[in-house]
Structure 1
């Protein structure tokens, strides 16, 4: 009886130790942690397998203990880590044990390229700073052959030299070619790419598809988009291409492309465009699109003598309802944009409904989409713009009308001008415009130039040398004194820009003529919204163009240097208010009119006339309100 009691006492500590094993999820205090969930094993001897796990020691004290797999207690590995540190530690197991993935693992991956055993217990026997044992459940694996699979389903008709490529993206946005394969319209294969430790994903790449259009010898290319097992088509440029990486289970890239065809006017220029996958990225990014702030080109063709066209190698995704494309057809400067169901639009922005909507786009969801027929000549309507003025007699620049197409996310002055022209004495101007949405600007033209009398016979001190000599036509005493003739040389250039032979000699006490970027307007200008549709009004009366603010001032220079004919400019960076200019008279005074209410930046000699600098002291900004007059004081020019 006594011996049995003693035996029980001897066995009790072992029993207690066996019971004091905790999983990390249990509320037990310990300092050693394993953060590895998957452990790749490889042979290290005739009887053993080895792998690596990440171990961390939390707290200021050093962590010591052993690591071992269940069933391989005879292969404990010691560890010793400084406090608050992390390290990769070796772990081993017996070959043939239950945790051995070679002997007992289930096949995994697309091609069964590795084996795995799930739910393996990895023990951490922490001796210091705490005497405790915890276990983690991990998956042991054989090393996988890292692969990037591609399954191609494309219409190869009319294409040659088709290739699929892997590119590594370098710093700065450049790429380097890593691998390239020839492909056909239906190909399934893979690129090999080494995995990381414990079968973690391999390096990141982007995938490019390339081909040559046999009918035009054009080189076509786009970047694949999607995730493993799914595609969302392709992108024209690298930025939107999605990353592909080899994985232990195998990254699978489905790839689809097709052809859009139809009938257009004979010899028409036909192009297929697609908006970017996302309208985000900011104004700068959207400006870089092939059609700024709208879409990129994916293919083009010239219609044959019968009007037939065919544009191949267009990527699409595996969701049938996705709408991707619009077909633009152009003949002799006139164009139309084709949407789904034969809808016709006057511009790329109109197809997107001026809000980046894809609802009007054409859905390509198969190898061939025919019947995309189009006649050039967008649906138009003549609209007469009727301008109104108050408080001043308008100049020709006040009467100038510009039509800009609305672009979401862009300020008025950043949107494209689609039509312009001056009104008549009735202050009206008619425009034939495609259906769409527009801005109407009256009296806001700043990009104009004209000839003005000058106190100087020429500007040769500035307009000379290799870089400026070609601009010598901008100033002269007599037109015929310029090199060349009416049909050649600088004299001809001046005539093209509006110079005439009646500009000879002195004019009103002046010595010559100058061509300057200057437009005199007195009104602040107006901006109004315009929608052109089959039912829109035939006349658009603008809001009243009131007299703008006036800013007067004087430019001075030291040392007896001239302050005559120096450009003074008032500009606003908000993207909605136009700049106004004037150049100083023979006394150095300036008078800038036509200013809308707002804050302006003042600059002197902004066009570098006569080759002097731009530095000055005095007011550099001014805030004005329309209808009022202000003084900028004296601007002391230092150039």
Structure 2
């Protein structure tokens, strides 16, 4: 036992010593390194390799190629940095395979080849069917970071050059790939200027065009492509006739809409489409006296991406079948790159399409049951709203396709939200306690709005509601159908507004809003004592806003309850709300 402790100490000293012995050489060996394997050589025999120095002091020495030591060159790389180190080898053509040696670095095998400064992006824009476009040009855009894209060059009057265009682009160091580019194709057809971004299959073959830049194909010129990227493009047209029954429809606008070539995962990208989260406009025209039209300069596509939309609410796709909404014709983004309900565009174009706007509609009768509110609130509680269903969009953010107090609507096939008593906004005259309200509209910025103040009347964003509102998702199809909606008496929130400098009897608007995308806001006006009661609320949590329209002279800041939880059919008091003035 007495001898074990000294033995342990000796072992620890030996271990520490071994650490010092092994660490120091490792640091020394890794002070300079390079991963360059292909070197572009100039005619004078100069080439460069990328070197990294990890020392605290600059790495310096000489560099040469084995067998050409007479052409040694000195170099210096700053401490803890990297850069190109130039060497010379005038015999590189005879011996393209070589080994580069640098002071402080391991030998590096390399392949030497002639330096290529520029590559080429070239192709043709060819009409394969339909009317010819004029003023065709192709723009070359360099793609940068953070959407800092730059227009580099433009090839104008392409059709006068037999459809050909070409751009010279600088290659990277040591013949590495060029920067990333995209092609924007522009032309005039039917008196309308149109454009789209070139799309290929990754090998240069044309597969179609995209209206938004983000969906355009990225192009790089590489050594593997012999420094030439071929990007041919083809365009054609869609011809057809718009009729209503057997009668031609003249002078109506026809729009050709295309879905994106793929569905982005970015909600921002989907939101920026011409038809939100659905499609983009590729071209427009008007029918002639016979109801006929032609929309040209459309990029051909083997995928089904196109739809035809005459003025009105119908969308026509495959087999000229009518759909009620953009989201219906793209099948609610169910298919990733090609939608069976839509049209593809072959090289010869599409001809003989007939879009009958007198067919493909469903007469929908809406029956309202349950609590209907008071007669005075009919414009809100009995108001019917039909919205286009859109995948991923909140109900109240979806597009309204029909609205009013009627109970019959005509719709094309597809999914819709049917709502009763859910107007998201109401501007109307209400009876004021004050004869003269001109004071609300003084000044240069609001003086022109004095028309909103009448004798004992005021025009504000307020309409009384009593029902909670109801909604239902319905698939519309066939010649006719019935939709039943049942409404209920809403909950209410009561309270009182006071202030040190504003008389409590001043008319203020109280607004309760919900941000869950399903409940609509409701408003109420304070009475002469500052009391209010907001009615017609669906169950849920609401945010309280005082004087939501921000009229001059009255602060919106207050102390008291900021949110409230409401139960349908019951009242909830929030007590006193005090302006902080």
TM-score, scaled relative to structure 1: 0.77
Structure 1 pair 469–386 and aligned structure 2 pair: CA distance change class (3 A): same
Q: Find the counterpart in structure 1 of residue 352 from structure 2.
A: 371
Alpha-carbon deviations, 1:272-327, whole Å to 9, x = none?
1111233325444333322222211111121111222111111134xx3x112111
Please list, as runs of the form range in 1=range in 2, the aligned pairs for 1:374-523 lying within 5 A after superposition. 374-389=355-370, 395-396=377-378, 397-422=380-405, 429-477=407-455, 512-523=456-467
| 3-state SS of 1:594 partner | strand
Please list, as runs of the form range in 1=range in 2, the aligned pairs for 1:181-192 lying within 5 A after superposition. 181-184=156-159, 186-192=162-168
| 3-state SS of 2:344 partner | coil
Q: Find the counterpart in structure 2 of residue 224 from structure 1.
A: 198
Please list, as runs of the form range in 1=range in 2, the aligned pairs for 1:30-429 lying within 5 A after superposition. 31-44=31-44, 49-58=45-54, 66-79=62-75, 81=77, 84-95=80-91, 97-100=93-96, 120-124=97-101, 126=103, 128=104, 133-155=106-128, 157-168=131-142, 175-176=150-151, 178-184=153-159, 186-213=162-189, 216-226=190-200, 227-248=202-223, 249-264=227-242, 265-280=249-264, 282-317=266-301, 320=302, 322-330=303-311, 334-355=312-333, 357=335, 358-389=339-370, 395-396=377-378, 397-422=380-405, 429=407
The 2-side partners of 1:70 and 1:94 are apart by: 12
The 2-side partners of 1:374 and 1:154 are apart by: 25
> Any stretches of 5+ residues in structure 2 without a counterpart?
1-28, 243-248
Alpha-carbon deviations, 1:196-238, whole Å to 9, x = none?
322233444432212222xx42222222233451334222233
Q: Find the counterpart in structure 1 of residue 537 from structure 2.
A: 595
| 3-state SS of 2:159 partner | coil
Structure 1 position 374, deviation (Å): 1.3
| 3-state SS of 2:295 partner | strand
Structure 1 position 411, deviation (Å): 0.3
Alpha-carbon deviations, 1:326-373, whole Å to 9, x = none?
11112xxx3432112222212212111223542211111204221222
Alpha-carbon deviations, 1:518-553, whole Å to 9, x = none?
2222222112111111287x22222x4333221111
Which entry has the higher C-alpha Rg, 1 or 2?
A: 1
> Any stretches of 5+ residues in structure 1 without a counterpart?
1-28, 101-119, 424-428, 478-511
Alpha-carbon deviations, 1:11-51, whole Å to 9, x = none?
xxxxxxxxxxxxxxxxxx7653222232111133xxxx011
| 3-state SS of 2:250 partner | coil
| 3-state SS of 1:374 partner | strand
Structure 1 position 144, deviation (Å): 4.2
The 2-side partners of 1:166 and 1:336 are apart by: 37
The 2-side partners of 1:522 and 1:284 are apart by: 37
| 3-state SS of 2:156 partner | strand
Structure 1 pair 97–443 and aligned structure 2 pair: CA distance change class (3 A): closer
The 1-side partners of 2:92 and 2:536 are apart by: 91
| 3-state SS of 2:542 partner | strand
| Greater Cα offset, 358-367 or 585-594 | 358-367
The 1-side partners of 2:433 and 2:293 are apart by: 61
Structure 1 pair 41–369 and aligned structure 2 pair: CA distance change class (3 A): same
TM-score, scaled relative to structure 2: 0.84
Contact 2:153-2:167 within 8 A present in 1 as well: no
Contact 1:461-1:611 within 8 A present in 2 as well: no
Structure 1 pair 389–96 and aligned structure 2 pair: CA distance change class (3 A): closer
The 2-side partners of 1:217 and 1:189 are apart by: 23
Structure 1 position 589, deviation (Å): 0.5
The 2-side partners of 1:563 and 1:88 are apart by: 79
Contact 2:41-2:112 within 8 A present in 1 as well: no
Q: Find the counterpart in structure 2 of residue 6 from structure 1.
A: none
Root-mean-square deviation (CA, aligned residues, Å) is 2.9
Structure 1 position 252, deviation (Å): 2.1
Structure 1 position 402, deviation (Å): 1.1
- Of 598, 608, 612, the residue aligned with 2:554 is 612
| 3-state SS of 2:346 partner | coil
Structure 1 position 66, deviation (Å): 4.8
Structure 1 position 571, deviation (Å): 0.5
Contact 2:37-2:108 within 8 A present in 1 as well: no
The 1-side partners of 2:87 and 2:186 are apart by: 46
| 3-state SS of 1:576 partner | coil
Structure 1 pair 178–89 and aligned structure 2 pair: CA distance change class (3 A): same
Structure 1 position 63, deviation (Å): 5.3
Alpha-carbon deviations, 1:358-400, whole Å to 9, x = none?
2211111204221222122351222222223259768412222
Please tell me whether residue 555 in structure 1 is matched to residue 500 in structure 2: no
| 3-state SS of 1:191 partner | strand
| Greater Cα offset, 285-294 or 308-317 | 285-294
Structure 1 pair 298–255 and aligned structure 2 pair: CA distance change class (3 A): same
The 1-side partners of 2:187 and 2:511 are apart by: 52
The 2-side partners of 1:456 and 1:284 are apart by: 47
Structure 1 pair 288–82 and aligned structure 2 pair: CA distance change class (3 A): closer
The 2-side partners of 1:91 and 1:150 are apart by: 38
Structure 1 pair 282–461 and aligned structure 2 pair: CA distance change class (3 A): farther
The 2-side partners of 1:560 and 1:210 are apart by: 61
